[in-house]
Amino acid sequence: MSTMIRLIKPETIVSLERSPFLKFSHQRLAFESLQCTHSVFPNISNGLEKIGEEERETIAGRNAKSIETISGSLLSSREEFQRKLERSCENENLEYVLLVSGNERGNERSRGSFYRNQLLRTTEMLQIGREMKRDGRLSERVKFAVCANPNVERTSAEYLENKVECGAELVITQPFFHLERCNAWVSSALSKGLIDVNSGNDGSSRGSGAKLVIGVCAPATASDVAFWGKLVYTASMQGAKDRSAKWISKTRSTPKSLWDIIQTNTDEPIVKLMHEYEQREREMDSETYRDWIFERCELNTVAALANESSKGVHFMPISKIGYDICRRLSCRTREFEQIECGSN
């Protein structure tokens, strides 16, 4: 896949996320065959599989750059965050540190808080990192990446604006579930000068700001779609007070997240998708259903790259099937290359 992508766009970023929920043996073939430019490592919390040195060496041996994640919700202090940043410089393959707010559950004392268990917001971590660079405590080669969510921010890019102002150099979006909404969000960010876009091979720039990489997921079941629904809509209650009030008035109960509200709306794209997965799984045999899942991911990948503002694509598999889809994408690319070579 990465070879085909680079034929479409030069110097394309192709990143693959290492899941902490699966053993690396279920992910290895995807990492080896996709030939991604960047590997994204999660911020490991208690109870999840640790990432071994042998695994890192396997991934680094493919000449892929590293993107290390630091989650504000897993930090115990400001000093711990500074130590994590300093340790990141020990990784010679590191190019970006991905700073995320996180939304860990379980902090009952702050149930009403938008950032439930969060010590540092993304903008605060960016400011600290910039200060450490200025003071010489952090290498200048370390760049900062942040996340953005085009599913709930609609056409507004105000959340992203603060992050870019604080020093974000790369933006990785959550997977999109409505292409027009995603493109509208990108257009809004571009109009605000938040996205840096090269107009062609000459490298001329049409904007200033951060590089944009659009996320793509590979859900295998309706439950996987619901997983993403909870993830991309959970941290959105801050901007949904009106919808929350209507929900409480109608149901006489308090929603735990925006997803509680969204999934009752049959016109919402992700809800339609969840029902479509249920229907397809009922009506198709297993082989046809697997092909349909693959085609969806392939089309989303092409759509992510077709946006002229995009610098690449970020794959976020959450299951063994998801990683198998990534491996299959790379095999499909080789088929295209053989056809291309045969025609010359």
Q: Domains in the chain and their CATH numbers?
A: 2-219+308-343 (3.20.20.220)
pTM for this prediction:
0.82
**What's the mean pLDDT when you consider all of the chain?**
78
Kindly report, residue by residue over 65-109, the tens digit of the pLDDT. 889 999 988 888 899 999 999 988 888 888 999 999 875 433 333
The predicted pLDDT at position 23 comes to 84
Q: pLDDT digit string (tens) for 130-179? A: 999 999 999 999 999 999 988 876 545 677 888 999 999 999 999 999 89
Give pLDDT, residue 74: 85
Q: Which residue has the higher pLDDT, 120 or 102?
A: 120
pLDDT mean over 202-213 = 66
Q: How confident is the model at residue 208 (pLDDT cuts 50, 70, 90)?
A: low
Confidence (pLDDT) at 336: 44
One-letter amino acid at 230 equals K
Q: What's the N-to-C CA distance of the chain in angstroms?
A: 20
Residues 317-331 have pLDDT tens digits of 888 999 998 888 876
Residue 315 has pLDDT above 50, yes or no: yes
C-beta separation of 273 from 177 below 8 A: yes
Tokens of 62: 């493919």
CB atoms within 10 A of CB 274: 22
Q: How confident is the model at residue 283 (pLDDT cuts 50, 70, 90)?
A: very high
Q: Which of 116-125, 281-290, 302-311 has the highest mean pLDDT?
A: 281-290
Q: What are the residue ranges of helices labelled H in the chain?
A: 2-8, 28-34, 53-60, 78-88, 122-134, 158-165, 179-191, 222-234, 241-251, 258-262, 269-283, 286-306, 320-343
Q: Residue 120's CB: how many other CB atoms inside 10 A?
A: 23
pLDDT of residue 5 exceeding 50, the answer is yes
